[in-house]
């Protein structure tokens, strides 16, 4: 199949690819970020953003702005664009686009379940949910008491249902097993997405599998680092790693037994693509790891635009927009809290 997509790709997906590439050119550039970093207050940020593609979304906001408003409006733009693309998409692109949102769905489910566990108000929690991961009955998650109910009542209707097969227990929900549930779901989701992309074949499979492998490996590292010092056993930890990616299977064996950050580093440095990431970080440090991974991800996502006739651009675009929104949130927070010296800590430039 490889190489032949260009014969037929444009019949169904040419329009949307053009749309997504057009949207991509609306992403903020390094000079935009430089300007944003010099802002004195949130009004300046707004003023600068109104000159970009975010203009129509921000121009009608009254003046005492909050970071949340900016982030909310920027997310709204992403959601609008996503919905537009989803409306226009035909199979299998529409399934592919839906796959992209399952990750948000998992996050939302976990957010609501944890929230209810701590007796937060459901409406308040709903506001915090990512709009891309919303589904109809999401609010009824609050009714469920344990995983079995969670599945039987709500999730059976959602696309997440098949991923649940591994974590149905009658145990009552608590923080620990919610976290395990999140990671099991995520694992199942990534594996399913991976299989789906392989089924699509061609350049989509090639690029997406690369991107998803990176995602899986990053999650493996994060799970390892976050579970150091918790009561999670090695076997349980091992079970949370996705069964693909560069680290699978030998890297996983090594990660499963790691006891501190430097051991993780040792395990990861055996893999050339990840050497550069760890080379940026000094020993014993895990704070900057996130940023290093994000930078690597952005680099890979940007590269996917270099090739034509494949679906990975949609995935890449939505991921890049999300990264951009994260950047904007960080910048606005720094500006609002007057900590401009920390602005560059977490901003990942794209172009």
Partner 1 sequence: MGVFDRLPPVDHLRSEKMCFVQLIMPAESARLAVTYLGELGLLQFKDLNEDKSPFQRIFVNQVKRCTEMSRKLRFFSDQINKAGVNSSVRPVLQPDIDWEELEAKLGEHEHDLLEMNTNSEKLLQTYNELLEFKLVLSKAGGILASSHDPVAPADRELDEHIYNKEVDDGIAYLLEEGVHLGATKNSGVKFVSGIILKSKALAFERMLFRATRGNMFFNHAPAGEPVTDPISGEEVEKTVFVVFFSGDQAKSKILKICDSFGATCYPVPEEMVKQRHIFHEVSLRLSDLEVTLNAGIQHRNKALESVGSQLWRWTIMVKKEKAVYDTLNMLNFDVTKKCLVGEGWCPIFAISQIKDVLQCATLRSNSQAGIIFHEMDPIDSPPTYFRTDKFTNAFQEIVDAYGIARYEEVNPAVYSVITFPFLFAVMFGDWGHGICLLLGAFVLILREKKLSSQKLGSFMEMAFGGRYVILLMALFSIYCGLIYNEFFSVPFHIFGKSAYECREKACSDAHTAGLIKVRDPYPFGVDPSWRGSRSELPFLNSLKMKMSILMGVSQMNLGIVLSYFDAKFHGNALDIRYQFMPQMIFLNSLFGYLSLLILIKWCTGSQADLYHVMIYMFLDPAGDLGENQLFWGQKELQVSNLLNNKNNMLHYLLCLLANNYSPFPLSDTPVAYGHCSCSMDALPKAFYLEETSQGEVPRAHLSLPWDVRNGSRF
Among 43, 174, 259, 269, binds partner 1 (CB under 8 A): 43
By CB under 8 A, tell whether 117 contacts partner 1.
no
- Half-sphere exposure of residue 18: CA atoms within 13 angstroms, side-chain side: 7
Among 38, 98, 165, 339, binds partner 1 (CB under 8 A): 38
- The reply to whether 341 sits near partner 1 by the rule CB under 8 A is no
Where does this chain touch partner 1 (CB under 8 A) — which range of 1-9, 153-161, 196-204, 259-267?
A: 153-161
Q: Does 110 bind partner 1 (CB under 8 A)?
A: no
Which residue among 142, 246, 288, 292 contacts partner 1 (CB under 8 A)? 142
Q: Is 64 in the site for partner 1 (CB under 8 A)?
A: no
Q: How many CB atoms lie within 10 A of CB 303?
A: 14
- Asked if 52 is part of the footprint of partner 1 (rule: CB under 8 A), the reply reads no
Instruction: Give the one residue of 28, 39, 209, 316 binding partner 1; rule: CB under 8 A.
Output: 39
The residue range among 53-61, 94-102, 171-179, 313-321 that interacts with partner 1, by the rule CB under 8 A, is: 53-61
**Binding piece for partner 1, criterion CB under 8 A, among 2-10, 36-44, 310-318, 338-346:** 36-44
Which residue number, 141 or 318, has a Cβ lying nearer to partner 1? 141
Q: Work out which of 18, 51, 176, 257 binds partner 1, going by CB under 8 A.
A: 51
29 Cα distance to chain centroid: 21
Which residue in 63, 170, 282, 341 binds partner 1 (CB under 8 A)?
A: 63
Cβ at position 152, least distance to partner 1 in Å: 6
Asked if 119 is part of the footprint of partner 1 (rule: CB under 8 A), the reply reads no
For partner 1, which is the closer residue by CB, 122 or 228?
Answer: 122
- Candidates 12, 24, 48, 291: give the one binding partner 1 (CB under 8 A): 48
| CA–CA separation, 156 and 163 (whole Å) | 10
Tokens of 70: 């900016």
| 336 scored as a contact of partner 1 (CB under 8 A) | no
């Amino acid at each position: 199949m490889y190489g032949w997509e260009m014969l037929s790709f444009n019949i169904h997906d040419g329009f949307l690819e053009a749309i997504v590439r057009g949207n991509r050119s609306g992403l903020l550039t390094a000079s935009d970020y430089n300007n944003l970093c010099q802002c004195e207050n949130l009004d300046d940020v707004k003023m600068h953003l109104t000159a970009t593609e975010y203009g129509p979304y921000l121009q009608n906001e009254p003046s005492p702005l909050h970071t949340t408003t900016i982030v909310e409006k920027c997310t709204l733009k992403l959601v609008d664009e996503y919905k537009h693309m989803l409306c226009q998409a035909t199979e299998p692109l529409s399934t592919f686009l839906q796959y992209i949102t399952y990750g948000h769905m998992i996050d939302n489910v976990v957010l609501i379940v944890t929230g209810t566990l701590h007796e937060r108000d459901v409406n308040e929690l709903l506001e915090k949910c990512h709009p891309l991961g919303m589904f109809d009955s999401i609010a009824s998650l609050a009714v469920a008491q344990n995983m079995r109910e969670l599945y039987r009542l709500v999730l059976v209707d959602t696309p997440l249902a098949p991923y649940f097969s591994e974590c149905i227990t009658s145990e009552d929900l608590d923080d620990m097993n919610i976290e395990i549930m999140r990671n099991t779901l995520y694992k199942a989701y990534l594996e399913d997405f991976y299989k789906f992309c392989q089924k699509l074949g061609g350049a989509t499979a090639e690029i997406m599998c690369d991107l998803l492998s990176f995602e899986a490996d990053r999650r493996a590292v994060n799970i390892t680092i976050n579970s150091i010092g918790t009561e999670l056993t090695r076997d349980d930890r091992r079970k949370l790693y996705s069964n693909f990616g560069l680290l699978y299977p030998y890297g996983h064996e090594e990660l499963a037994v790691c006891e501190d950050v430097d051991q993780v580093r040792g395990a990861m440095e055996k893999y050339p693509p990840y050497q550069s990431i760890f080379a940026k970080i000094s020993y014993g440090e895990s704070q900057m790891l996130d940023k290093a991974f994000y930078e690597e991800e952005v680099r890979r996502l940007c590269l996917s635009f270099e090739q034509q006739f494949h679906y990975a651009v949609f995935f890449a675009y939505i991921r890049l927009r999300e990264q951009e929104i994260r950047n904007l949130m960080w910048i606005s927070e720094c500006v609002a809290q007057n900590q401009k010296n920390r602005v560059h800590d977490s901003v990942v430039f794209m172009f």
